[in-house]
Amino acid sequence: MDAPLRTAPSGITPDFENPPFLGLPVLVTAGICLFLVFLFTAVRIYATVYVLKKWKLDDYVYCFSCTAGVAFIAFEISIVLSKPIGYHAWNVRESDVTKSSLMHLLAFSITLGPVLWLLKLSLFCFVLRHFGSVRWVKNCVYIGIIVLGLVFSGYTIIVTMSCGPLPGSDTVSYLNGVNRMQCSSPEGVTAVFSIITGTFNGIGDLYLIVISMPLVSSLRLSTKQMYGVYLIQLCGALVCLCSLMGVYYRYKSWQSTDLTGGQIPLYVVLALEMAIGLMIPCMPSFATIWRYYTDPNINDTGNLTTPNMRGVSSLSFSSPLILSQPESRATWRKTHLSIEEIPYRKTSSEYNQYSIRTPLPVHIQRMKALPSTPLPYPYTKSAPQSPTTPKSCRSMQLPIMFSHY
């Protein structure tokens, strides 16, 4: 009889014929997570393309991170359905392990670092989009991206060097790479750096919550809108909890001889962390779509006081609504000019003749478009000093304050 992949603990007899399958929690969790990620991503894409009609940098980063995260969760399902993973290591013959399954296991360990970094990158960009105007938040985001990128890159390099196939690329070489002390031993460099990477992963999630907490209280939002902000922070706390649980399960799996079955709880936690982390940047899109279909819509034919009734059936009303005369956009804009759109007077000749030699700053050049002052320039001692004299330096004519274009 062939030897098992790992020696069974005392009191346990290996079962090669009908071993119990342990991967059902991973299949259920990964399936639910994929459905939720697809749903939230579809909402965000709809809000970006149809409602906002504008793509920003964090939208592109999220699309790339979402693709990597979905592929990672789907890869978990593929690994669990293969023979070694999903079963106890002492219930699997060493001869039954295929090269394909070992390559999947190695690829999962190698890609774990970059995928986690992409997830953190999308969350950092989410914080940067909403609080990027604050200088210290922007600096903290850049520092977090660089530090976590170095840690996750180091983990990928160490796993590649410690668990790679030796000396060739056949099944025996991949088994030799997995059975090396640096790869599978609890005292090996892979185990130590795996715990360090998981710890930094949890610290990164906690770091995201900490840098956004002081700014949440300063938001000027309604009570219902603040409920949405609190929901986002609650999801961030769940991501932080999943990452900390991942550290625990990493340590527990490395202390066990069950190389394959001991990874199942870690896979469940990673799928949850990946899904919730991808759902957080999509949550404001729900509010965007809600406002788009319920808030007043100003256009050339619609009424300013009528909500956007797009998609609402006219049969919902028992009696016809009496609407006021619609106000066109041109009329609305004439009575609602912003300060940037108010026209200024042309430059007065009296102002230009004294400033032609000296270039003026932009803000001063803009001020010269105001009506000319009644004060004479330059001031001479021979000028009359009576405030009733129109040309005196002490004369202030109130009509200048009410002049119209």
Domain locations in the chain as residue ranges: 24-294
Question: 77 and 26 in contact (C-beta within 8 Å)?
Answer: yes
Is the bond preceding 167 in cis, omega lying within 30 degrees of 0?
A: yes
Single out the residue of 245, 240, 269, 38 nearest to residue 120, CA to CA.
Answer: 240
Question: 258 and 90 in contact (C-beta within 8 Å)?
Answer: yes
CA 218 – CA 286 distance, rounded (Å): 22
CB atoms inside a 10 Å sphere around CB 320 = 7
DSSP3 helix / strand / coil % (the chain, rounded to 5): 65, 0, 35
* CA dihedral (303, 307, 308, 313) positive or negative: negative
Contacts of 367 (CB under 8 A, 6+ apart): none
Instruction: Spell out a b/e string for 350-374, using b for 16 or more CB atoms within 10 Å of the CB, else e.
Output: ebeeeeeeeeeeeeeeeebeeeeee
Question: 326 and 302 in contact (C-beta within 8 Å)?
Answer: yes
Residue-wise pLDDT tens digits, 248-300: 999 888 888 787 888 899 999 999 999 999 999 999 999 889 888 887 554 44
Query: Angle CA(17)–CA(19)–CA(22) in degrees, nearest 5?
Result: 160
Q: Which CATH number fits domain 24-294: 1.10.12, 1.20.1070, 3.40.1350, 3.30.70?
A: 1.20.1070
Residue-wise pLDDT tens digits, 8-54: 777 788 878 888 888 899 999 999 999 999 999 999 999 999 988 88
Residue 396: the pLDDT is: 46
DSSP string for residues in 265-325: HHHHHHHHHHHHHHHGGGHHHHHHHHHHHHSB---SSS-TTSB--TT--GGG-SS---PPP
Residue-wise pLDDT tens digits, 292-347: 888 755 444 444 444 444 444 434 434 444 444 555 545 544 455 444 444 444 44
* CA dihedral (354, 359, 364, 367) positive or negative: positive
Instruction: Supply the DSSP symbol for 10.
Output: T
Single out the residue of 243, 237, 50 nearest to residue 152, CA to CA.
Answer: 243
pTM: 0.70
Instruction: Supply the DSSP symbol for 93.
Output: B
Single out the residue of 24, 56, 40 nearest to residue 289, CA to CA.
Answer: 40
Residue 394: the pLDDT is: 47
DSSP string for residues in 116-155: HHHHHHHHHHHHHHHHTTSHHHHHHHHHHHHHHHHHHHHH
Residue type, 319: S
Residue-wise pLDDT tens digits, 55-89: 898 999 999 999 999 999 999 998 888 777 888 88
**Residue 180: helix, strand or coil by DSSP?**
coil
Residue 92: the pLDDT is: 83
